[in-house]
Amino acid sequence: MSDSAGAILTVDLGAVRRNYRAVCAAFSGAEVAGVVKANAYGLGIAAVAPALAREGCATFFVATAAEAFELRRLLPAVGIHVFDGVQPGEEADFAAQRIVPVLNSLQQIELWRAHARARGRALAADLHLDTGMARLGLDRDEQRRLLAHPDELTGIDLDAILSHLAVAEDPANPMNEDQRAAFADVAPGWPSRRLSLANSSGVFLGEAFHFDLARVGVALYGANPTPGLPSPIAQVIKLQGRILQVRSVDAARSVGYGATHRVSRPSRIATVALGYADGYPLAMSNLGTAFLDSHEIPVVGRVSMDLTTVDVTDLPEGLAAPGRLVDFIGENNTIDAVAGRAKTIPYTILTGLGRRLQRIYLED
Amino acid sequence: MSDSAGAILTVDLGAVRRNYRAVCAAFSGAEVAGVVKANAYGLGIAAVAPALAREGCATFFVATAAEAFELRRLLPAVGIHVFDGVQPGEEADFAAQRIVPVLNSLQQIELWRAHARARGRALAADLHLDTGMARLGLDRDEQRRLLAHPDELTGIDLDAILSHLAVAEDPANPMNEDQRAAFADVAPGWPSRRLSLANSSGVFLGEAFHFDLARVGVALYGANPTPGLPSPIAQVIKLQGRILQVRSVDAARSVGYGATHRVSRPSRIATVALGYADGYPLAMSNLGTAFLDSHEIPVVGRVSMDLTTVDVTDLPEGLAAPGRLVDFIGENNTIDAVAGRAKTIPYTILTGLGRRLQRIYLED
């Protein structure tokens, strides 16, 4: 059905790999890990993670245990780290599958230490220090307590000490330096293999933020890690819908649910088989644009669940016809631009890509 | 892993069935069809469609060919209708699997008629008349042309003549009556089995809007088809996240990405394993509420991809603890209420429910 699918997502795995190389080139530390949580930010972990591994990426971060187990089936040999850490009942599966939990609390440390003791061998883990997110990780008091009682880490083989930057996409925000200084102050206090602070935007904050290990997600998938500056990153996705019908609409008639668009002249409206269920945001109603070849065409009316209407009045005769594909996200409408217009962030555009899309993966 | 999944969607199939019965009771026509496009509005077609069939639903509508083929594998005997109609290359599969296309254009009519001729037997189809959406369907001129040339329908066994209401959720809008009158005027002109105009809200516009066949989606899934009035419909979904960590945060510290929330007093913040990748809207940042038992707790900070932070300072000591489930959508926060607060529509809440959720289906 590839010739008739109504809504198509093309993921350029070559671009993902080039973006990984670009981040590696910008990073002064030892290693760049790939963050592939939330199904590789919606793009499909089963395709994206192996592509990154082929590019040399040897360490991956996911959010949940289920994601870690899925990734282990895909990549038997890589390092897999879990941001949520380990929950009661998951310890044996983590250990058996060599999954590295990010230990976020004294409770998780105790859980992992007890499991290491039960297995009679050291188990790898990362340690998460909160430096300002107040979300997960040890707070300052817990850090002090743990430093004062190193026996609480007996049997835990510390891989990375890590923390999360809260505002890295805003280089002028002084919170970045506060977090960096706090991290540099305390993180070396533990006997770990490496230190990790930078996310995608953190890599571009300068070498002081690099430490040993970067954890990079959204930049791999095409979002600009340096908002306001030219992007060092290539676009990865193309979101297209197929024209189902082209119709003439008289002046003063309305289009779509809620009758939110009223045409002011005799118009031609193309109805495209792509809607918000596919991930094209409702917020683009009467606001977005799409491209047919090199022609920009406005979205008119409300984006509906399965359909979007575009005004093709000004296109050359015959260009807009049933069966033709229209580009809604891609080189001409980057995910940053679409997110900005929809008043959201590129992350939600990526993770909102729908189940129904036909997914095409381009290899290099 | 059901005892440790971080984010859980519970779908009450009994409520879906009760909602189907409630719509049937309110409908004066012959039959209520279930609309299960977009994976049954995100709830899972593989569970929802069979539940509806057990309740007696015998006719289903989907948007795309791929959805129709998926539904046919689930339910070999029911009627399956496709809003997008049939595209070139799909005719043989439609006919072989007894899929009924909604014919939206003269081109689709010609395609289906040619296939009927090639097979040497009549093929069922619906005919879509546009009465004001300007999205899909025959416009007034095409309707006239087709009525004047009935031979263009030779070999097509007309099941339903249908049209879509653009503003049915707003009973006071005069466009409803305009569409109804236009439909009542022209639809009986074709030799069809039945007429179909009403969607979920259309059923509650009164008997004049009923005709023979209703096509009901969102009301089955718990959204109020009569906004502003008490809902005749039961809630269907519960969206929950598990507490990963509870932390104390000093006054004047910030929480989460972008440091958008600053606490004004010593606070306890619970971090929950549910984020916008799971379908809890980013727009609920610093705005939503959740429930722990019967206690309402505010979302603080920015909803992130995998995590949401809630302020549990005012809860009884010990109630908020790692492992506890927090309700974000359900009886206490209906999908209508959550959609309203997020400045969207309940449809996008439903279709945005994430792939990573553990899905639990409750039977009656």
C-alpha A364, offset from chain centre:
21
User: Mean pLDDT, to the nearest integer, of A130-141?
Assistant: 92
pLDDT at B252: 73
Position A2 in a domain = no
Interior/surface letters A45-62, b for 16+ CB within 10 angstroms, e for the rest: bebbbbbbbebebebbbb
Given A41, A167, A244, which is nearest B258 (Cβ)?
A: A167
Nearest to A309 by CA among A329, A330, A287: A287
- pLDDT tens, position by position, A79-119: 999 999 999 999 999 999 999 999 999 999 999 999 999 99
pLDDT at A250: 83
Q: Tell me how far apart the alpha carbons of residues B70 and B90 are, in angstroms, rounded to a whole number.
A: 14
Q: Tell me how far apart the alpha carbons of residues B243 and B234 are, in angstroms, rounded to a whole number.
A: 27
In this prediction, residue B130 has a pLDDT band, given cuts at 50, 70 and 90, of very high
Task: Verify that B204 and B250 share a domain, yes or no.
Answer: no
DSSP state of A355: T
Position B210 in a domain = yes
Task: Verify that A204 and A283 share a domain, yes or no.
Answer: no
Task: Verify that B86 and B132 share a domain, yes or no.
Answer: yes
pLDDT at A182 over 50: yes
Given B66, B132, B166, which is nearest A1 (Cβ)?
A: B66
Q: Tell me how far apart the alpha carbons of residues B30 and A93 are, in angstroms, rounded to a whole number.
A: 54
pLDDT at B5: 84
Position B7 in a domain = no
Q: Please, where are the H alpha helices in A159-220?
A: 175-186, 200-203
Given A6, A104, A344, which is nearest B64 (Cβ)?
A: A6
**Minimal C-alpha gap between A28 and chain B (Å):** 25
pLDDT at A341 over 80: yes
Q: Is B259–A175 a contact, with Cβ atoms under 8 angstroms apart?
A: yes
One-letter identity of residue A253: R
In this prediction, residue A306 has a pLDDT band, given cuts at 50, 70 and 90, of very high
Position A304 in a domain = yes
**Minimal C-alpha gap between B52 and chain A (Å):** 21
Task: Verify that B198 and B341 share a domain, yes or no.
Answer: no
In this prediction, residue B262 has a pLDDT band, given cuts at 50, 70 and 90, of confident
Which chain A residue has its CA at the smallest distance from B271's CA? A135
First to last CA, chain B: 24
Q: Which of B190, B221, B252 is the last residue of a domain?
A: B221
Task: Verify that A195 and A71 share a domain, yes or no.
Answer: yes
Position B29 in a domain = yes
Q: Tell me how far apart the alpha carbons of residues A199 and A174 are, in angstroms, rounded to a whole number.
A: 17
Q: Which two tokens stand for residue A11?
A: 């993921």
Q: Tell me how far apart the alpha carbons of residues B182 and B170 are, in angstroms, rounded to a whole number.
A: 18
pLDDT at A3 over 70: no
Query: What predicted TM-score, i.e. pTM, was given to this entire model?
Result: 0.96
For chain B, say whether A321 makes contact (Cβ under 8 Å): no
The region of weakest confidence among A190-204, B189-203, B245-259, B274-288 is B245-259
Task: Verify that A99 and A155 share a domain, yes or no.
Answer: yes
Is A37 in the active site? Answer: yes
Q: Tell me how far apart the alpha carbons of residues B25 and A354 are, in angstroms, rounded to a whole number.
A: 34
Given A245, A254, A345, which is nearest B282 (Cβ)?
A: A345
- pLDDT tens, position by position, B336-352: 999 999 999 999 999 99
Q: Tell me how far apart the alpha carbons of residues A109 and A153 are, in angstroms, rounded to a whole number.
A: 7
Q: Is A66–B104 a contact, with Cβ atoms under 8 angstroms apart?
A: no
Q: Give B244's contacts in chain A (Cβ within 8 Å).
A: 84-85, 87, 104, 136
Q: Tell me how far apart the alpha carbons of residues A29 and A81 are, in angstroms, rounded to a whole number.
A: 18
In this prediction, residue A255 has a pLDDT band, given cuts at 50, 70 and 90, of confident
Is A41 in the active site? Answer: no
Q: Looking at this predicted complex, what is its ipTM? A: 0.96
Task: Verify that B25 and B149 share a domain, yes or no.
Answer: yes
**Contact yes or no for B320/B246 (Cβ under 8 A):** yes
Q: Give B39's contacts in chain A (Cβ within 8 Å).
A: 277, 355-356
Nearest to B126 by CA among B99, B107, B96: B99
Q: What is the mean pLDDT of chain A?
A: 95
Helices then strands, each counted (H, E), chain A: 11, 18
Task: Verify that A255 and A324 share a domain, yes or no.
Answer: yes
**Contact yes or no for B235/B334 (Cβ under 8 A):** yes
Cα–Cα distances in angstroms (integers) from residue B361 to residues A276, B46, B195, in the given order: 25, 11, 34
Cα–Cα distances in angstroms (integers) from residue A190 to residues A29, A115, A138, A208, B258, in the given order: 19, 21, 13, 20, 28
Dihedral Cα A324, A330, A332, A337, nearest 10 deg: 130
User: Mean pLDDT, to the nearest integer, of B218-231?
Assistant: 96
Which chain B residue has its CA at the smallest distance from A267's CA? B134
Residue B286, domain CATH: 2.40.37.10
For chain B, say whether A105 makes contact (Cβ under 8 Å): yes
Position B215 in a domain = yes
Q: Give A244's contacts in chain B (Cβ within 8 Å).
A: 84-85, 87, 104, 136
Strands A156-162 and A123-128: parallel
Chain B segment 10-49 residues within 8 A of A by beta carbon are 37-39, 41-42
pLDDT at A264: 84
Neighbours of B318 (CB within 10 A): 8
* φ, ψ (nearest 5 deg) of residue A244: -95, -35
User: Mean pLDDT, to the nearest integer, of A269-294?
Assistant: 97
Strands A254-255 and A261-262: antiparallel
pLDDT at B201 over 60: yes
For a pLDDT cut of 70, what percent of chain A falls above it?
99
User: Mean pLDDT, to the nearest integer, of A275-296?
Assistant: 97
Q: What is the mean pLDDT of chain B?
A: 95
Task: Verify that B64 and B101 share a domain, yes or no.
Answer: yes
Task: Verify that B209 and B105 share a domain, yes or no.
Answer: yes
**Which residues are within 8 A (CB) of B325 and not within 5 positions of it... i.e. 6 or more apart?**
B8, B240, B241, B242, B243
In this prediction, residue B2 has a pLDDT band, given cuts at 50, 70 and 90, of very low
**Contact yes or no for A306/B83 (Cβ under 8 A):** yes
Q: Tell me how far apart the alpha carbons of residues A138 and A275 are, in angstroms, rounded to a whole number.
A: 42
For chain B, say whether A247 makes contact (Cβ under 8 Å): yes
Which residues of B are known to be catalytic? 37, 257
Which DSSP string do the residues of A263-324 spell out, in sequence order? -SSSEEEEEES--GGGT--GGGTTT-EEEETTEEEEEES---SS-EEEE-TTSPTTSS-TT-
Given A5, A38, A104, which is nearest B356 (Cβ)?
A: A38
The region of weakest confidence among A116-125, B143-152, B209-218, B251-260 is B251-260
- pLDDT tens, position by position, B312-332: 999 998 999 999 999 999 999
- pLDDT tens, position by position, B22-72: 999 999 999 999 999 999 999 999 999 999 999 999 999 999 999 999 999
Segments forming the whole domain that contains residue B155: 13-221
pLDDT at A90: 96
pLDDT at A133 over 90: no
Strands B59-62 and B79-82: parallel
**Which residues are within 8 A (CB) of A43 and not within 5 positions of it... i.e. 6 or more apart?**
A11, A16, A221, A236, A237, A350, A353
Q: Which two tokens stand for residue B303?
A: 């909803």
Task: Verify that A206 and A283 share a domain, yes or no.
Answer: no
Domain total of chain B: 2
Residue B107, domain CATH: 3.20.20.10
Q: Tell me how far apart the alpha carbons of residues A9 and A239 are, in angstroms, rounded to a whole number.
A: 5
Q: Give B107's contacts in chain A (Cβ within 8 Å).
A: 322
**Contact yes or no for B41/B350 (Cβ under 8 A):** yes
DSSP state of A98: T
Given B37, B90, B258, which is nearest A305 (Cβ)?
A: B37
Chain B segment 187-216 residues within 8 A of A by beta carbon are none
In this prediction, residue B264 has a pLDDT band, given cuts at 50, 70 and 90, of confident
**Contact yes or no for B322/A110 (Cβ under 8 A):** no
∠ CA(B118), CA(B124), CA(B127), 5° rounding?
110
Position B276 in a domain = yes
Q: Is B322–A107 a contact, with Cβ atoms under 8 angstroms apart?
A: yes
Which chain A residue has its CA at the smallest distance from B283's CA? A344
Q: Which of A157, A187, A221 is the last residue of a domain?
A: A221
- pLDDT tens, position by position, B252-261: 778 887 778 8
> Could you tell me what percentage of chain A is helix, strand and coil, using 3-state DSSP and rounding each to the nearest 5?
35, 25, 40
Q: Tell me how far apart the alpha carbons of residues A256 and A169 are, in angstroms, rounded to a whole number.
A: 37
For chain A, say whether B276 makes contact (Cβ under 8 Å): yes
One-letter identity of residue A191: P
Q: Tell me how far apart the alpha carbons of residues B107 and B82 are, in angstroms, rounded to a whole number.
A: 16
Q: Which of B221, B254, B272 is the last residue of a domain?
A: B221
- pLDDT tens, position by position, B286-308: 999 999 999 999 999 999 999 99
Position A229 in a domain = no
In this prediction, residue A77 has a pLDDT band, given cuts at 50, 70 and 90, of very high
Number of C-alpha atoms within 13 angstroms, CB side, residue A67? Answer: 32
Task: Verify that B57 and B159 share a domain, yes or no.
Answer: yes
From A37, A221, A238, A280, the catalytic residue:
A37
Q: Tell me how far apart the alpha carbons of residues B331 and B327 are, in angstroms, rounded to a whole number.
A: 9
pLDDT at B63: 98
